[in-house]
């Protein structure tokens, strides 16, 4: 069976150990700032800070590989379109036959790509250093109901579980002679014999799991106690507030004329 | 005199909208620290027995209950399953559906039950360590439960129950989906728990294992108890032989012309064959 969809990478860096809210605010603030600041230089600065944090967390290689895989195909498309079709295009840089590329469009594309890179790197940094379960656990420790926390925690786990069940049913059907490969109409015909047992198995599994949860006391009307508490020091809380206030401050600065 | 851990008194139970009872006229008691094996053919009512013992029937499955089921002095009608979950634990057949499906680490999964019960943090940590050690999965603490094998997953499910520190453990064919190594590991854990005083009621189809492990066997057929006693007595009973069968040692001895009562355990079989040869 495959594990969950988590991208978490085991580690013990400062970022790994930080409160999930701190990392969440860091990610959101970095992304928001990347889209608020007026110049590519500022965006590049944010990207560098994120990459330094990733390097300190021992994730530089994974971070760069992941970001390149996502950003490069997108950036090729953005450069191709903006360099050619941006309404602000004036200064010709080069021409590919009838298609002319302009300095203004390419510069704008570079700016957009940097912003996207910030978004991707910040998201990866958060995902690599934070277990999804830790986010819901932190939310529960902050007052979210255990039922809601369970829904959040199980959401990511249920996909690989269902996929695994589907593969097992497909294998079983195949061993009985059902053709699941080949042309589209043949695969479509194999869909029903797969879906029916999948739905029935899921319903049965849900009933059994509901019993198992009850046997373990899930839903008991006592205050739930977590096995661990996330360290949330005063410096972390201050940092979080500062990071949370940075985007609104940047918006105010932009309105006030920051160019 | 010590109060029995589990009492079934003239119990009958019919699932909702079912025309007939799944179990009828069931009466027996289990003393604290006993290890009782329950066996029987399909539809004998073994799983229903477990559901009744913990109270899932009739609290989870609506239905009609006759008689009384008392676990650790509490009538199943008067207490919800969730409220007795620290006293009585139930392990199902399928280990996959017993994990919460919400935890990404084995140790977090084991902590699920005690956390739900609001057990103090330090004690949760202690219980998790103890339960994982008891079932031998301490080295898997950081793994994702979904990455475990069937045997490991069943041990994890058992650890999750043990972390609640139940005094009565009900096991509904806990090894039916496991390979021989996984089965042996689970039986070893159970033997250890039994030696520590846990009351165990185990539904099992492997008659040889039942005879080796359980000092007392209850045989069921068509929703009724047809025999209750020591393994050698139960599996030499004609009704049990015709409806449930016999362990392989007894069948071999019978086929070889050894006179009854036939041996039901390995050592007994060795002695019986030696006597026959002499």
Cβ contacts of A3 on chain B, cutoff 8 Å? 104, 144, 146-147
**Closest to B48 (Cα-Cα) out of B12, B22, B69, B20:** B22
**Closest to B11 (Cα-Cα) out of B58, B43, B80:** B58
The answer to whether B144 contacts A4, with C-beta atoms less than 8 Å apart, is yes
Angle between helical axes of B121-135 and B180-195 (0-180°, round to 10): 120
Number of Cβ pairs < 8 A linking chain A and chain B: 134
Cβ contacts of A158 on chain B, cutoff 8 Å? 101
Cβ(B127)–Cβ(B89) under 8 Å?
no
Examine the pLDDT at A179 and tell me if it is beyond 80.
no
Closest residue of B to A224, CA-based?
B118
- Write out the residues of chain A at the interface with chain B, using a CB-CB cutoff of 8 A: 1-4, 6, 8, 10, 131-133, 146, 150, 153-154, 157-158, 160-161, 164, 205, 208-220, 222-229
Cβ contacts of A2 on chain B, cutoff 8 Å? 146-147
pLDDT by position in tens, chain B (length 278): 688 999 999 999 999 988 899 999 999 999 999 999 999 999 999 999 999 999 998 888 889 999 999 999 999 999 988 888 889 999 988 888 888 888 889 999 999 999 999 999 999 999 999 999 988 899 999 998 888 888 898 899 999 999 999 999 999 998 887 888 888 888 998 999 999 999 999 999 999 999 999 999 999 999 999 999 999 999 999 999 999 999 999 999 888 888 878 999 988 888 888 887 77
Task: State the Cα–Cα distance between residues A206 and A209, nearest whole angstrom.
Answer: 5
Task: State the Cα–Cα distance between residues A87 and A95, nearest whole angstrom.
Answer: 17
Strands across the sheet containing B216-221 = B88-91, B168-172, B199-203, B35-39, B216-221, B224-229
User: In 3-state terms, what secondary structure has residue B29?
Assistant: strand
Cβ contacts of A4 on chain B, cutoff 8 Å? 104, 144, 146
The beta-carbon neighbor of B102 closest among A10, A153, A224 is A153
Closest residue of A to B149, CA-based?
A1
Examine the pLDDT at A1 and tell me if it is beyond 60.
no
Examine the pLDDT at A205 and tell me if it is beyond 90.
no
Cβ contacts of A205 on chain B, cutoff 8 Å? 94, 96-97
The answer to whether A217 contacts B85, with C-beta atoms less than 8 Å apart, is yes
More confident call, A253 vs B95? A253
Task: State the Cα–Cα distance between residues A185 and A176, nearest whole angstrom.
Answer: 19
Cβ(A134)–Cβ(A166) under 8 Å?
no
Cβ contacts of A217 on chain B, cutoff 8 Å? 82, 85-86, 113, 116-117, 164
Task: State the Cα–Cα distance between residues B161 and B147, nearest whole angstrom.
Answer: 20
User: What ipTM goes with this model?
Assistant: 0.83
Smallest CA–CA separation between B149 and chain A, in Å?
Answer: 8
Examine the pLDDT at A188 and tell me if it is beyond 80.
no
Task: State the Cα–Cα distance between residues B261 and B254, nearest whole angstrom.
Answer: 9
Point out which residues pair with B202 in neighbouring strands: B37, B171
The answer to whether A157 contacts B111, with C-beta atoms less than 8 Å apart, is no
Smallest CA–CA separation between B54 and chain A, in Å?
Answer: 8
Cβ contacts of A219 on chain B, cutoff 8 Å? 82, 116
Examine the pLDDT at A186 and tell me if it is beyond 80.
no
pLDDT in tens, A90-143: 999 999 888 899 999 999 999 999 999 999 999 999 999 998 888 888 998 888
Best residue of A166, A200, A215, A224 to probe chain B, by most B CBs closer than 10 Å? A215
Task: State the Cα–Cα distance between residues B209 and A60, nearest whole angstrom.
Answer: 54
The answer to whether B101 contacts A154, with C-beta atoms less than 8 Å apart, is yes
Using 50, 70 and 90 to split pLDDT, how confident is the model at A4?
low
The answer to whether A227 contacts B94, with C-beta atoms less than 8 Å apart, is no
The beta-carbon neighbor of B85 closest among A158, A209, A215 is A215
- Mean pLDDT score across all residues of chain A: 89
Which phi and psi angles does B225 have, rounded to 5°?
Answer: -80, 125
More confident call, B278 vs A213? A213
């Amino acid at each position: 069976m495959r594990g969950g969809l988590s991208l978490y990478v085991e580690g013990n860096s400062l970022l790994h150990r930080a409160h999930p809210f701190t990392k969440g605010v860091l990610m959101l603030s970095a992304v928001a700032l990347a889209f608020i600041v007026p110049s590519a230089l500022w965006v590049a600065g944010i990207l560098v800070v994120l990459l330094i944090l990733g390097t300190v967390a021992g994730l530089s290689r994974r971070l760069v590989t992941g970001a390149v895989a996502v950003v490069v195909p997108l950036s090729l498309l953005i450069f191709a379109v903006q360099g050619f079709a941006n309404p602000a295009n004036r200064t010709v840089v080069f021409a590919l036959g009838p298609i002319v590329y302009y300095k203004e469009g390419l510069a704008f594309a570079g700016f957009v790509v940097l912003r996207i890179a910030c978004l991707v790197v910040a998201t990866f940094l958060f995902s690599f250093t934070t277990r999804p379960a830790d986010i819901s656990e932190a939310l529960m420790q902050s007052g979210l109901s255990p039922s809601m926390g369970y829904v959040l925690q199980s959401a990511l786990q249920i996909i690989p579980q269902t996929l695994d069940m589907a593969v097992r049913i497909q294998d079983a059907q195949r061993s009985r002679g059902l053709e699941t490969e080949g042309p589209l109409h043949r695969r479509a015909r194999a869909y029903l014999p797969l879906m029916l047992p999948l739905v029935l198995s899921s319903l049965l599994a849900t009933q059994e799991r509901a019993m198992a949860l009850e046997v373990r006391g899930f839903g008991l009307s006592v205050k739930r106690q977590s096995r661990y508490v996330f360290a949330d020091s005063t410096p972390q809380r201050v940092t979080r507030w500062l990071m949370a206030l940075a985007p609104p401050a940047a918006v105010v600065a932009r309105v006030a004329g920051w160019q | 005199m010590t109060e029995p851990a589990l009492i079934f008194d003239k119990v009958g139970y019919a699932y909702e909208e079912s025309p007939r009872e799944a179990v009828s006229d069931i009466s027996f008691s289990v003393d604290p620290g006993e290890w009782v094996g329950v066996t029987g053919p399909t539809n004998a009512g073994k799983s229903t027995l477990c559901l009744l013992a913990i109270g899932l029937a009739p609290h989870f499955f609506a239905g009609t209950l006759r008689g009384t089921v008392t676990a650790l002095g509490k009538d199943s009608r008067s207490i919800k399953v969730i409220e007795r979950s620290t006293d009585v634990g139930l392990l199902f057949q399928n280990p996959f559906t017993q994990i919460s499906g919400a935890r990404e680490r084995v140790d977090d999964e084991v902590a699920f039950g005690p956390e739900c019960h609001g057990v103090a943090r330090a004690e949760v940590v202690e219980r998790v360590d103890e339960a994982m050690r008891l079932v031998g999965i301490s080295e898997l603490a950081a793994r994702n439960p979904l990455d475990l094998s069937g045997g490991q997953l069943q041990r994890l499910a058992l650890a999750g129950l043990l972390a609640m520190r139940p005094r009565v453990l009900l096991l509904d064919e806990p090894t039916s989906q496991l390979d021989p190594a996984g089965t042996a590991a689970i039986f070893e854990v159970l033997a250890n728990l039994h030696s520590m005083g846990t009351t165990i009621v185990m539904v099992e189809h492997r008659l040889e294992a039942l005879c080796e492990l359980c000092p007392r066997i209850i045989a069921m057929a068509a929703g009724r108890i047809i025999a209750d006693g020591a393994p050698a007595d139960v599996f030499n009973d004609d009704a049990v032989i015709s409806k449930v069968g016999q362990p392989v040692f007894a069948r071999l001895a019978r086929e070889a012309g050894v006179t009854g009562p036939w041996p039901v355990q390995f050592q007994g079989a060795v002695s019986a064959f030696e006597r026959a040869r002499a």
